[in-house]
Amino acid sequence: MDLTRHFADEAQHARYWTDCIQRLGAEPLRLDAAYQDRYLEAAGMPVNLMEVLAITQVFEQRVINQYARHARAPDVQPEIRDTLDRIMQDETWHLQWVRQALVSMEGEWGKETVLAAIRRCWDADQKVYAATLSEHAERVQHLLGISKEAE
């Protein structure tokens, strides 16, 4: 089943990042929460496979867009660019199979129900991304010693 292959790919991606980080002379940090947890908080817990695929579609689109943007940035280390490129190959397939699966579910759920689930997840994505950008800006300001009052 495609979902099983997808999950296996995601586990591989974690290993690719671990290997990349170690090749660059660092050790990965253990995180208490995953970025995906924010999606569940914002969109709610999916209650069926169609909703799981809707949130997956939106999340995977965000990921591949961010990875592509990162890969185009100047001075990206080759190890990082190679890892991004390798993962984006899988993400392209993920988007294709999930999109096809959602279309095939329109007969059971109705096209409007599927589209509404995707829209709800897209709205959650916008909230999560805005919060993440804000946190990133705060961290950069802190690292650069810039206070909020100086803005």
Please check whether residue 74 lies inside any domain of the structure.
yes
User: In the chain, how many domains are there?
Assistant: 1
pLDDT at 112: 98
Mean pLDDT to the nearest integer, 72-98: 95
Distant-in-sequence, close-in-space partners of 76: CB < 8 Å, separation ≥ 6: 70, 84
Range of the domain at 104: 2-26+33-145
Comparing 80 with 148, the larger pLDDT belongs to: 80
For 3-34, write each residue's pLDDT tens digit. 899 999 999 999 999 999 999 999 999 888 88
Please check whether residue 79 lies inside any domain of the structure.
yes
Please check whether residue 151 lies inside any domain of the structure.
no
**How many CB atoms sit inside 10 A of residue 28's CB?**
12
pLDDT at 147: 65
Please check whether residue 130 lies inside any domain of the structure.
yes
Which residue in this structure is represented by tokens 């950069």? 140
From CA 86, how far away is CA 99, in angstroms rounded? 21
Please check whether residue 107 lies inside any domain of the structure.
yes
pLDDT at 84: 97
For 91-144, write each residue's pLDDT tens digit. 999 999 999 999 999 999 999 999 999 999 999 999 999 998 898 888 888 888
pLDDT at 150: 55
Angle subtended at Cα 12 by Cα 128 and Cα 30, rounded to the nearest 5 degrees: 55
pLDDT at 105: 97
Please check whether residue 150 lies inside any domain of the structure.
no
Average pLDDT, the chain: 92
Please check whether residue 63 lies inside any domain of the structure.
yes
pTM of the model: 0.85
For 33-65, write each residue's pLDDT tens digit. 887 888 889 999 999 999 999 999 999 999 999
